[in-house]
């Protein structure tokens, strides 16, 4: 399998985790479910703007969909990610993971499923998607920039 296939599968794993969390929350409250979904949509836009629009590999994105969506955002110069750019990835990811914890922890089977899907996606990204990526500005990049 190539990096794009792993990237697409990792997005499907994240989607499955989000659907698991959404269902766990929905069993208790439509309002908190709606808040989570709106927060996730906004978070996705923040991640794409903060990270993907600066990525030199956005036209050959291993995650496929974020790279395509980045084309709809204003262009940003490629280069080192600022603390604000990094926060634009970390804060939304923390929201994705931390927000549903109350509802997941009171339903242990959903918690285990959510955690497994998130960990599976993270491992797939780290070991297969990132490997060979040309975004030398990424904090996880293991090569050297050719500048």
Q: How many domains does the chain have?
A: 1
Per-residue pLDDT reduced to its tens digit, 65-93: 998 899 999 889 988 899 999 999 999 99
Instruction: Confirm whether 134 is domain-assigned.
Output: no
Question: Has residue 103 been placed in a domain?
Answer: yes
Contacts of 33 (CB under 8 A, 6+ apart): 22, 25, 26
Number of neighbours of residue 76 by Cβ within 10 angstroms = 15
pLDDT at position 41 is 97
* Owning domain of residue 102: 3-129
CB-count exposure of residue 50 (10 Å: 0-12, 13-18, 19+): buried
pLDDT value, residue 50:
94
Structural domain includes residue 66: yes
Residue 12 lies in a domain: yes
pLDDT at res. 21: 98
Greatest alpha-carbon span in the chain = 53
Q: Where residue 143 falls among pLDDT bands split at 50, 70, 90?
A: low
Which tokens sit at 118?
A: 């998130």
pLDDT tens-digit series, residues 7-51: 999 999 999 999 999 999 999 999 999 999 999 999 999 999 999
Token reading at 56: 């030199």
Count other Cβ atoms within 10 Å, centred on residue 140.
9
Tell me whether residue 142 is in a domain: no
Whether residue 139 lies inside any domain: the answer is: no
pLDDT of 130 > 90? The answer is no
């Amino acid at each position: 399998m190539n990096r794009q296939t792993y990237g697409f599968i990792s997005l499907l794993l994240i989607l499955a985790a989000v659907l698991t969390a959404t269902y766990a929350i929905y069993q208790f409250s439509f309002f908190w479910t709606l808040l989570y979904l709106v927060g996730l949509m906004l978070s996705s836009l923040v991640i794409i703007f903060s990270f993907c629009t600066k990525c030199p590999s956005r036209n050959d994105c291993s995650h496929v969909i974020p790279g395509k969506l980045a084309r709809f955002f204003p262009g940003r110069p490629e280069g080192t990610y600022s603390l604000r750019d990094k926060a634009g990835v970390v804060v939304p990811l923390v929201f994705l993971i931390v927000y549903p914890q109350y509802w997941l922890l009171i339903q242990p089977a959903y918690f285990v499923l959510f955690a497994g899907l998130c960990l599976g996606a993270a491992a797939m990204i780290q070991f297969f998607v990132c490997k060979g990526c040309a975004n030398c500005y990424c904090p996880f990049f293991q090569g050297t920039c050719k500048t």
